[in-house]
Amino acid sequence: MRVMHMAAIIPLFGLLLAAAPVRSADLSEQTPIVVDVDLGSKGGELVFRPNTLTFEAGKLYKLVLHNPSGSKHYFSALRFASSVWTRKVEAGEAEFKGVIREIEVKPGGEAEWFFVPVKAGTFELMCTVPGHAEAGMVGKIVIR
Ligand SMILES: [Cu+2]
């Protein structure tokens, strides 16, 4: 009796598996959601614009860091950086793969950070150039 039940269940299970939709498990193959942020301003203000960034876990983002100012700035959010999976960073003619901790953008420069947030939380963002955070170059990043 027991053997007959198993014989009836196994083909059914196979049918369910065959009917499951085929979906790519490769999150890095998504089309990235583009988010732009300015580090500093043309007028020399020590700000991030916008100063609050919100991301959703599991989606691929392309965060474009622009520096329209005349001095270098850092995008530094260490706890945030360890809560995302970095696909790559593109800057100039180079592409960087691996764990990213912080990014410095030179005057007039730009960097593109491709990542998938993996852990929810609220994180502090700051520029680590001496005096900049104190002058207001701070922000907040939310992963939900
Ligand atoms: Cu700065």
Distance 133 CA to ligand 1 centre (A): 7
> Looking at the whole model, is its pTM more than 0.85?
no
Domain ranges of the chain: 25-143
pLDDT at 5 over 90: no
- pLDDT at position 116 is 96
**CATH assignment of 25-143?**
2.60.40.420
Distance 3 CA to ligand 1 centre (A): 71
- For residue 74, what are its two tokens? 């850092």
pLDDT digits (tens, 9 = 90+) for 17-53: 555 555 567 877 889 999 999 999 999 999 999 999 9
Distance 21 CA to ligand 1 centre (A): 48
CA pseudo-torsion sign 39, 45, 50, 53 = positive
Distance 74 CA to ligand 1 centre (A): 6
Average pLDDT, integer, range 97-123 = 97
pLDDT at 75 over 80: yes
Going by pLDDT thresholds of 50, 70 and 90, the confidence category of residue 4 is low
